[in-house]
Structure 1
Amino acid sequence: MKNSLATLLLMMSVVGHAHQAEFSSSLLSKTDDGKYILQIASSMTAFQGEIDYIYSQKAYKTAEEFKKLVIDYFTKNVSLIVNGTEVLQLKDPMVLLGHETKIIVEVIGIPAKINELTFTNTMFKDLSHNKMGLIMLIDGFPKEQYILENENEQTIRLKLKEGTWVSSESDELIMKNILYISFFLIIAMIPLIYVSYRDRKNFRK
């Protein structure tokens, strides 16, 4: 019931933003027969804008040719990695064209135990102010909605720590800040080292 409600709310949100090219959504769920399905939805404007930009408007003449380009672009820009190294297979992608266009694909190889997850979707990275909401309706997966955007390079990295899913972005940010601070401290110390060396040299004279 909770999963159905969350799916309904997500679909309502997508429909509400479907006319805005910069909004899109990803939904990872499990069917009643045990299949794992990834669905990516956005406006036709967003899909067409990316395909025209990457392949040019002359690259397709029919709807079927357009679908093939969307699938090709999808396979090059979407990945799901669990437990650090296990790259999941995205099988038989299907494109449903419409005002709200969708890609539906089966996800193969999800292990029974997952403690780390990385999801990347750069399909709409060329759209200004683009944002993609990610929701995972699968037991053992994070239940919050996550946002992919240019600021996080269209990638969400999550780790399971003490039973709670946390983003590893904060750890990476801390490490980057430490590196930046160390670099600037070293730069700032160079004049001091030079002055100290010069003063000692003059003193010896």
Structure 2
Amino acid sequence: MLKDLLQTNASFEEELLEEINSLGKIVDFKSNDILIDLNEQIKGMPLLINGAIKILREDYNEGELLLYFLEKGDVCAMTMACCLGKKQSKIRAIAETDGQLIMIPISKMDEWLAKYPSWRKFVFESYNNRLDEMLFAIDNLAFNDMNQRVKNYLLDVATINKGRKIIKTHQEIANELNTSRVVISRILKALENDNILKLHRNEITIL
């Protein structure tokens, strides 16, 4: 049943659930799938049923910076803004893990905001949560050195994957933190020497 699948923090009205069930499109995705790309015309708003998605922003030099992760029950505030404003995407959404989402038609966004109190509350709370995460990302970038940023990143990824193993190359980590592979390799080696983690081929174990 859709209600069981969604399992969001919002208590959606039965009528709203029925509309989502009849109008929404369930999409299965695999790790590393590009779900939304930069400058793509947004046709629907994804509501995450399970799995995890990372939201990235591209800089002027075509580098990328990780903004935040989405988990079960989350929606992307920047995608919602594009939906409501009928604008092109300003972010790239890539699957961090396998998962499933339901795509909600843009045409229903405004209507549901006026029609369903639970949807309005859910949208506003989602904006607030994503804003908090954006502020954390800005603080992390502005006030923390790269060593601390790497530590925060590893803890976030480990939490998302619900374990201590992180299956990523040094280059992938560098891309998401918008730095060089050499810098990441140096920091990871120093953390290994401090017995904070153990390095393997394309895998990191947090101790």
Would the TM-score normalized by the shorter structure come out above 0.5? no
Which is helix-richer, 1 or 2?
A: 2
Between 1 and 2, higher relative CO (CA 8 Å, sep ≥ 6) is seen in 2
